[in-house]
Structure 1
Amino acid sequence: MGKTVVSWSTVHGQSGTTANTVALASMFGLDYPFRSLLTHTQLTFSTLESLYSKGQRAKGFEDAGMEALERLVKSKLLKPDAVSDYTDTIYKNRLDLLFGNQQERDAEDSDHILRSILQVAKNYYDVLWIDAHSGVHNATTRTLLKDADLVLVNLPQNRYVIERFISGQDFPEELKDKPYIILISMYDESSAYSLKNIKRSNKIKAPIFAIPYETGFKDAANQSAVTQYFHRLIQVKKGEPSYSLIHSVRDVNKAILKQLGYSAMEDDGL
């Protein structure tokens, strides 16, 4: 049975949640011999897909993605090994992308469909990376947080937002007794509110990492060229512009690997 990693934030539009999820899942797929599925909690097309491709799914949605799997769920014909047939391959045998459809769905119906698809997918993939809605007002988000094997809490380098989460004001009930990792997004290494100072001024028990802002990654995202960006940087060298980002992402992935219990398997070459 695969493991579920839910990427989430307390605030909307400030925390780089989608970008972080894409970066981590992409590098994880390139570095480790595990089969991963990347998706999101919107059944409609989202910005996540646009980072990898320039919307080539404008036609033919009914033949792949959520729309095709939705029909299988409703007819009770969805099997674990069939899920990958309806995805886009990002890195062969390592990372698949499950994209949304073009039509809005009833919220309750969408929740049921998504949960059904993910439950079946866990029987085929080793890791499910899920880009979740921010906050806790969405029922699907609450369910995903509760059921996740690991939650990535994405926060901006903003003292107010970070302290509200650490103090418990924005700490959801679903995260109690749940393993989670804090990611400080679009991190500015020259800021006075550094990772060291964040740790010093807050009682943080969970692992905390910084994901630095990197112009090359931003450009790749705007050009829908994220697949090529990470593939090109597998052997990135110290001193290159992208080194800090790739190094940070790999550090987070090592922590994720350990939290999911896969580190021993990877060390054995499995």
Structure 2
Amino acid sequence: MGKTIVSWSPVHGQAATTSNVAALAAHFGLKYTHQSLITHTQLTHSTLETLFGKEMTTSRGFDSGIEALERLTKSNLLKADAVRDYTETVYKGRLDLLGGTQNQSLETPQLLEVLLSVTEDAYDLVWIDAHSGTRSNTSRRLLNKADIVIVNLPQNRYVLEQFFSGEGFPNELKEKEIIILISQYDKHVKPGIQKIKSKYSKKYPVFPVNYSSKFKDASNSFGITELFYRVTNSNKGLDMQDFIDSLAKVNKYIAKKLELEDTEEDDE
């Protein structure tokens, strides 16, 4: 049975929720031997696809992604071994992407739950980019269902105060395995990571995801697939090594919690 990691934030548009989960999944896919799937809860096209250079088209939507699996679901033909036929490859044998659709009528929580139950049987690890906030019933159900919830927060004192005071902390997280990520972290900006850990979060692990201009550029040009492949398979990524190291620490923690720590590949 595969494990589910849900990437979520209590705030909209401030915490790099999509880029964080894309970076973690890409790094994990290249460093660990398990097979992963990454998808999102928008069901329509999202930033996640463009980050990996997978542009949505009307014709592609019919043959792959959510729309294709939705047809199989209606016909009771959706099986775990068929899921990969309707995904797109990011890293062969390591990471696939289940894209959305332009058909707004497919956005139903019931369909999402069916798809997730099947994809968990098809993959060792399913990364999900969830809609921020708690207004979405789908997001709340995913927080309940997840094996690990990644809570993405900006390096912003007000947002941190709101979340850890309980105002932005949903009930669905109270008994969950949680990782707190401080997105686009800058060590020259206050509050620093040690201050955040000591003041706000003594119960949950807190990790910085260091800011990287190289990753930002690759995200803006929809080229993170190639970026991670080059950096992971060469010694020329030192100008973004702080960023890669921060991802490695998060993924090592995830792998340990999911009992996958012995599957990390040695660097050549």
TM-score bracket for the superposition, by shorter chain length = over 0.9
Q: Distance in 1 between matches of 2:63 and 2:197?
A: 48
Q: Using the TM superposition, give the Cα deviation of residue 223 of structure 1 relative to its aligned residue in structure 2, in angstroms.
A: 1.0
Return the letter of the residue paired with 1:212.
Answer: N
Q: Report % sequence identity.
A: 50
Q: Distance in 1 between matches of 2:120 and 2:146?
A: 12
* Runs of 4+ that moved beyond 6 A: none
Alignment TM-score, normalising by the size of structure 1 = 0.94
Q: Is contact 1:145–1:151 with CA below 8 Å preserved after alignment?
A: yes
Partner of 1:156: 154
What SS is found at the alignment partner of 1:241?
A: helix
Partner of 1:7: 7
Q: Deviations over 1:181-215 (max 9, x none)?
A: 00000111111311011122224211100001111
Alignment of 1:1-270 (within 5 A): 1-53=1-53, 55=55, 57-105=57-105, 107=107, 110-235=108-233, 237=235, 240-264=238-262, 266=263
Q: Is contact 1:43–1:105 with CA below 8 Å preserved after alignment?
A: no
Q: Is contact 1:17–1:131 with CA below 8 Å preserved after alignment?
A: yes
Point out where structure 2 has 5 or more consecutive residues left out of the alignment.
Answer: none
Q: Distance in 2 between matches of 1:67 and 1:121?
A: 15
Point out where structure 1 has 5 or more consecutive residues left out of the alignment.
Answer: none
Q: Is contact 1:166–1:204 with CA below 8 Å preserved after alignment?
A: no
Q: Is contact 1:14–1:156 with CA below 8 Å preserved after alignment?
A: yes
Q: Using the TM superposition, give the Cα deviation of residue 239 of structure 1 relative to its aligned residue in structure 2, in angstroms.
A: 8.3
Return the letter of the residue paired with 1:92.
Answer: K
- Distance verdict in 2 for CA 1:236–1:187, change over 3 Å: farther
Q: Deviations over 1:130-166 (max 9, x none)?
A: 0000011100000000010000000000111112211
- Distance verdict in 2 for CA 1:228–1:203, change over 3 Å: closer
Q: Distance in 1 between matches of 2:236 and 2:199?
A: 31
Count of residue pairs the alignment pairs up: 266
RMSD of Structure 2 on Structure 1 (CA): 1.8
What SS is found at the alignment partner of 2:104?
A: coil
Alignment TM-score, normalising by the size of structure 2 = 0.95
The farther-off stretch of 141-150 and 190-199 is: 190-199
Q: Is contact 2:231–2:237 with CA below 8 Å preserved after alignment?
A: no
Q: Is contact 1:236–1:242 with CA below 8 Å preserved after alignment?
A: no
Q: Is contact 2:10–2:133 with CA below 8 Å preserved after alignment?
A: yes
Q: Is contact 2:49–2:56 with CA below 8 Å preserved after alignment?
A: no
What SS is found at the alignment partner of 2:134?
A: coil
Q: Using the TM superposition, give the Cα deviation of residue 59 of structure 1 relative to its aligned residue in structure 2, in angstroms.
A: 2.7
Return the letter of the residue paired with 2:181.
Answer: L
